[in-house]
Each structure stands twice: as C-alpha cells, then as structure tokens.
Amino acid sequence: MSVTREVVEATLRQYTDPHLNQDPVTSGCLREVDVQGAKVSVRLELPYSAGLFKSGWAQMLEMALSNLDGVDSAVVTVDCVVQAHKAQAQVPALENVKNVIAVASGKGGVGKSTTAANLALALAREGARVGILDADIYGPSQGIMFGIAEGTRPLVKDQKWFVPIKAHGVEVMSMAFLTDENTPVVWRGPMVSGALLQLITQTAWDNLDYLIVDMPPGTGDIQLTLAQKVPVAGAVIVTTPQDLALLDAKKGVEMFRKVNIPVLGVVENMAVHICSNCGHAEHLFGEGGGEKLAAQFDVDLLASMPLSMAIRMQSDGGKPTTIADPESQIAMIYQETARKVGARIAQGDANAQAMPTISVSDD
C-alpha cells in the first residue's frame, strides 16, 4: 500500500496541539509533506515559541506516521516562527518589538510582578527573544527580581536611546534604573504616563519577539494611556481567589475589552497552600475564583499557582523560580503558561474584536 499526502494529513488531524487547541493541519502549521516511497517527511511551523515542547511534539507525530502501513521511516521537523501582532490598528508598532504583552492586575499584592518576571524568563527558555519593561513606576521591583545591582544605570546610545540591561537572557528596563531606589516617585498621573511612554519608545530593544510590560496595579489614567498609546498584542490578568481581588480583576478585564485589547487569560496566584510538614492542602484566600473569572469572561485560566515560600524567596533573591529551579513543578506551570500566551497571541487575528465603525448618512 502506497502512502499519500491525504493519508499523512488525516493522521496528523488526529493529534491536537495542547496550546493551539487544534490539530497541525487545521491550525495552519503544516508547511511541507514529502512522500518518497516508504519515506515520509513533514515540516511544521508553530506560530509561538515552544523550544521545550517541539521535540516531544515531533517525536509523537513521527511515531504516529511510522505506524502507518507502507511507511518505513518518518521524519517530522518542527520550527517556531513568531510573527508581529497588535490589537490596535491605529497605534504605530514599536521599533524592534514584535509583540507587547501587558501583565496587569486590578489591585496590588496579588503577585503580578512575580508572574511578569517568570513569564518573561519562561518565554526566553522556550527560545524567544524577550524584554521586560517595569511600568509599575510607584513600586518597581523587576530590578530586584532579575538580580540587577542597586545603582545600575543603563547606557545611552546616540544621546537618544536607553540600552536595556540584560539579565538571565532577558532585556530589562525600569524607571528604577533612572531614579534613586530609596526616593519615592511623587508624580501626578500625566507625568507618569509621559515618562513611561518615553521609556517604552526610547529604549533600544534588540529585535524582540515579546516585550512583557509589568503594568501598575489598577485601572486609572496611566493604564488607559498605556493601553491606547502602546501597540499591545494582548493582556494577562493576575488575581488571587480572594473576592476583593476578583472584583478588581474584573475591572481590569473590562478596561482592556473597552480599548479592544484581547485578554489572553487569567493567572491565579496563591490558589492553595500545601503544608510543608503534613501535606495538608488549604485554600487560604478562597477556592475556584480564577476559574470563575475566566469562565465569566470566556477566557482561559492560564495557570493556578500555589502559595509557595519558594516562589517568594527565589524572586527576592534575584533568580525567579523559572531559572532557580527549572525542573520543578511550578517552573513547568510557568513554561506551559508562556506557550499558551504565545499561542493565544498568534490566534489573536481571528479572535480580536474589530474597532467599531461610525457611519453618517443624510437620512
């Protein structure tokens, strides 16, 4: 029995990419099928960074094709090619940045900055070129999380561009690098918005696939300015199961929807505490809140993270969990989250809402 392209495609359709939630053919990832007698060669192209996933994915598909009648050998090649996306057509793209991801929360203290740091590091581990901008101007913390020494200042290029500081393979920029760490920023909203826009547009990012923006908590004029002036591809909302946090998180989701920026999903922190002595699980801040929030707004629950001392200690020590303990269960959850975020951005063109059109008639 001779193998045909149709048989190969039918076999590939039986396997679902867990991040795109589609098979390789339906998702448009299939690039080449070459059948030479009993030898089959297939090339796939994933639209998101998946360096830790693609080899296992290729092996699974190779095994399926090898089991077909008439096939002696099968080779599946998987490449990752990240394209540029932005939700707001009217906002000009950032130079040397393909995709901007806003990490936001309705209130402070829910682990937003920790999530942003680990998301950036996880994307870098997947093979992406990544930068992170600490836009939480009143409480910048990314410098500490990335282990950047106090007093470090960015270089200036051509008297116009800030050169971001590289740490753990990620380009980092923060207002904390330009101010005294012990002196609070006492600015009104418009001043902060202007400074942040200048920081974003005048940083010499080096051909990034993803720029993570650690947003200030809340839904005020600073957040609105960033959402309207920066070409954001999508937003990740961070919350805890606590009712008060969920109430504020809902406002964050609504804010992004009003400016037509896709919400890529929800990350729930401090979901459960596991006692280190007896292993007893206790939901200190409530249970199932992130899942309810995701269901209410029809978005993904990207991750439900435990209340863990290790996460806190590793972040405070300048090496977040993703790189401090890369084989841990928590790190694996961050990796899965990073791949899902990349996949949702790639699917954004089909899912994003169009800007409303206004028509005027003489009737």
Amino acid at 47: P
How crowded is residue 182: how many other Cβ atoms within 10 Å of its Cβ? 6
Distances (CA, A) of 248 to 110, 131, 229, 330, 346: 11, 27, 23, 25, 28
Is 229 part of any known ligand binding site? no
User: 250-269 as b/e, with b when 16 or more CB fall inside 10 Å?
Assistant: bebbebbeebbbbbbbbbbb
The response to whether 109 counts as a known ligand-binding position is: yes
Read off the amino acid at residue 107: K
CA gap 30, 337 in Å, rounded: 24
Q: Is 342 annotated as a binding residue?
A: no
On whether the CB atoms of residues 165 and 172 are closer than 8 A, the answer is yes
Residue 3 phi/psi, 5-degree rounding, is: -90, 140
Q: Known binder of ligand: residue 348?
A: no
Contact between 114 and 320 (Cβ < 8 Å)? yes
Angstrom distance (rounded) from CA 287 to CA 279 = 18
* Residue 290 is labelled as binding a ligand: no
Alpha-carbon gap, residue 203 to 215, rounded angstroms: 17
Name the residue among 32, 36, 41, 34 with its Cα closest to residue 75: 41
Q: Return d(Cα 42, Cα 170) in angstroms, integer.
A: 33
| 112 assigned ligand-binding residue | yes
Q: Which of 120, 119, 142, 139 is nearest to 129 (CA)?
A: 120
Reduced to 3 states (helix: H, G, I; strand: E, B; else coil), residue 162 is strand
Instruction: Tell me: is residue 113 an annotated ligand-binding position.
Output: yes
Q: Crossing angle for the helix pair 189-201 and 221-229, nearest 10 degrees? A: 30
37 is in an annotated binding site: no
Helix, strand, coil percentages, rounded to 5, for the chain: 35, 25, 45
User: Residues annotated in the binding site for ATP, as ranges?
Assistant: 106-113
- Residue list for the binding site: 106-113
